[in-house]
Amino acid sequence: MPDDSPLFLTAAQAGALIRRRALSPVEYAEAVLAAAERAQPRLNAFVTITRERALAEARAAEAAVMAGAPLGPLHGIPVSIKDQVDTAGIRTTHGSAIFADNVPARDDILVTRLRAAGAVLIGKTRLPEFGHKGLTDGPSFGATPNPWDPSRTSGGSSGGAAAALAVGLGPIALGTDGAGSIRIPAACCGVVGLKPTLGAVPWESAADAFGNYTYAGPMARSVTDAALMLQAIAGPSPQDPWSLGRTGLATLSPGLLGEDLSGLRVGFIERAANPRLDRDMEANTRASLDALAALGAAVEPVTEAIDWIELPGRMMYQGNYAVSMAKHLPEWRGRMDPALLAFVERGGAFTLAEFRQAQYARTRLFRAVQALFERYDVLVSPTLTRTALPIDFDAANDEVEVEGERCGITRQGWSAYVYPFNLTGHPALTVPSGVARDGLPTAVQIVGRWGADLDVLRLGALLESARPWSGRRPPAA
């Protein structure tokens, strides 16, 4: 790739160049779109590439620059949107044949906010059917491979977004996270992903707004870009009760303003519901903790016996799919993902009493995590137990192997660290932590107090500085 290519500029860098009239939004969009079209046959990251619309938006962005008009914080910056989020006049398929021809009449509020900030929509990214699993594949589109190794998954369910970011197809992307679906693919592909505090970013699509544990959030190649995007999409919506009463993001804790972390208390979560942790993932997590300690932070292991509610969490997750998918089964069962159908069948077997007991367990987990924050300012864990799974992994039936040991299904053996914080609502950020022996990225998760989204981003930025990653690019780039 030529050194003068704009593909691996950060959004912050590109925005500054655009303001100085040193980078044309049209030429920038053209470069990203051309790269996306070249990569699509091998990467399969996009459902739709919105070439004509993107170029029209880029031309309008360039005209505004030349006219000296007020510019938004993401003016002229290419962005992709996960194909689970409504876009006016552009298909939103939810990764399913059921919605193959679904063209929404209006933008989701988050798309509206990104457009208002000046972002240029380049396309809609892949997800498994209705975002039900941590791998991005499905009967209606095949698979989205990992750009570091096409024999591995890109993760899921925001796998298209993560794969596209990793190879320079835009600096920012909007993902969603119902059980780790931003953080899993970000970790697999070596990019940054934030699941915000519940309510910080509205999620208007929730069928159960009050019992919601699905989030929309920023994905990017740098922590700064994730923060810029978060600022653009955060804020209340009248359609999301968790967002009401929030006037914006909480302020950054004063102790994190500089690079002296003296007084910061870090709790290291070595295990959640997983029986094993890969040695490379552990080593790179400990190296990240050492980097925080070198800045003055006090790091200690979390020794409390936390019930991470793996089974109750599964009851809620699969039980909700059993209810939401029931209306589609008579007509569409034969064209739906077998893993999703397995989740539906298992979810339908749980009783109402079991489902309610699982909801009570969610409250207990929240209170247990809140108790940890009486002693710690931040919690750190690996994001996953190992690097990306094989691309043909069966999420409904296969067991995850960690260093040759079978460790259970994905939520037990691979992604045990992420889903608990969907249930508790705390902000959780994943940032790259290094490379494993297999050549794939590893990642670390930073979890903050409720509302402390800027704190976890700041700590992520310090790790990014102490253990630089941005210069690494996958072979597919």
Predicted TM-score (pTM) above 0.85 = yes
Residue 379's beta-bridge partner residues?
267, 447
- CA-to-CA dists, residue 386 to 158, 290, 346, 415, angstroms: 18, 20, 26, 9
CA dist., res. 120 & res. 63, Å (int): 14
Local confidence band at 171 (pLDDT 50, 70, 90 cut-offs)? very high
Residues classed as catalytic: 82, 157, 181
Q: What is the share, in percent, of the chain residues with pLDDT greater than 70?
A: 99
Local confidence band at 460 (pLDDT 50, 70, 90 cut-offs)? very high
Sign of CA dihedral 255, 256, 258, 260: positive
Q: Does pLDDT of 468 surpass 50? A: yes
Question: Residue 295's pLDDT is what?
Answer: 98
Q: Does pLDDT of 22 surpass 60? A: yes
Q: Does pLDDT of 167 surpass 70? A: yes
Nearest to 443 by CA among 377, 379, 387, 378: 387
Please give the single-letter amino acid code of residue 400: V
Question: Residue 1's pLDDT is what?
Answer: 42
Local confidence band at 3 (pLDDT 50, 70, 90 cut-offs)? low
Segment 394-423 mean pLDDT = 97
- CA-to-CA dists, residue 10 to 16, 54, 74, 337, angstroms: 10, 19, 11, 36
Q: Does pLDDT of 247 surpass 80? A: no
Question: Residue 224's pLDDT is what?
Answer: 98
Segment 181-200 mean pLDDT = 98
Local confidence band at 123 (pLDDT 50, 70, 90 cut-offs)? very high
To the nearest whole number, what is the mean pLDDT of the chain? 97
Domains plus CATH for the chain? 11-466 (3.90.1300.10)
Segment 226-238 mean pLDDT = 97
Residue range 54-88, pLDDT digits in tens: 999 999 999 999 999 999 999 999 999 999 999 99
Residue range 9-19, pLDDT digits in tens: 999 999 999 99
Residue range 309-343, pLDDT digits in tens: 999 999 999 999 999 999 999 999 999 999 999 99
- CA-to-CA dists, residue 60 to 30, 55, 63, 80, angstroms: 14, 9, 5, 18
Question: Residue 75's pLDDT is what?
Answer: 98
Question: Residue 2's pLDDT is what?
Answer: 46
Q: Name the least confident of 68-77, 246-255, 339-348.
A: 246-255
Q: Does pLDDT of 221 surpass 60? A: yes
Segment 183-191 mean pLDDT = 98
Q: Higher confidence at residue 476 or residue 93?
A: 93
Segment 414-429 mean pLDDT = 98
Question: Residue 476's pLDDT is what?
Answer: 75
